[in-house]
Amino acid sequence: MEDFILIRPSFDYIKGISKFRNELLSANSSMDGTGSLRRSKYIRTYIKRCLKLEQIEHTPKNLVPATQFIFVRVSDNKIVGMIQFRHFLNDYLSNYGGHIGYCIAPSERKKGYAKLMLKEALAYCKQVGLEKVFITCLDTNIASEKVILANNGKFDSTIFEPNRKVTLKRFWIDLI
């Protein structure tokens, strides 16, 4: 497997984040785990917002502090994925969203990158003191379910999310 780094977004990656965003938009793909990327016309503003939202005092009441990461392939410096870690769970996240959301660029799927990216993010979660992580995926997203299970996810339950009108599978991953 190639070398990758999991890092916070920075201005060094403005073009890469823009390309990643455009690829997801062109494919009409989910942007789970990217924060406000879908609606961010200006990548510089997006990066500033990501860094600001790590701190509770800058987090809107309906959200929780979160750390945004980009997953970069070292050989060509390409962003192949994004993953977001939510520092704690509010009512919505404790039922439907979980601690982590992620996505891989459509051109980079089915290469094992999501599995590796989640593994790296779980190491970060452990490092900041979490003992277990809650994560969900659409019940129809077999690829994401396999990624979660490959990272020791334990199936918890299935739940209907009424706002998006989707059924989700819920998993827990023990970190200790």
- First-to-last C-alpha distance (Å) of the chain: 26
Q: In the chain, what are the helix, strand and coil shares in percent, each to the nearest 5?
A: 40, 30, 35
Structural domain containing residue 53: 4-174
Q: Which amino acid is at 147?
A: V
- Is residue 2 very low, low, confident or very high in pLDDT (cuts 50, 70, 90)? confident
So what's the pLDDT on residue 45?
97
pLDDT tops 80 at residue 20: yes
Give the integer Cα–Cα distance in Å for 2 and 24. Answer: 22
pLDDT value at residue 158: 98
User: Torsion angle, CA of 80/89/134/163, rounded to 10 degrees?
Assistant: -80
pLDDT value of position 155 = 98
User: Does 96 have pLDDT greater than 90?
Assistant: yes
pTM of the model: 0.95
Q: Say how many domains are in the chain.
A: 1
- Of residues 54 and 1, more confidently modeled: 54
31: domain CATH number is 3.40.630.30
Condensed to tens digits (0 to 9), the pLDDT of residues 155-169 reads: 999 999 999 999 999
pLDDT level of residue 1 (50, 70, 90 thresholds): low
The pLDDT confidence band at residue 68, using thresholds 50, 70 and 90, is: very high
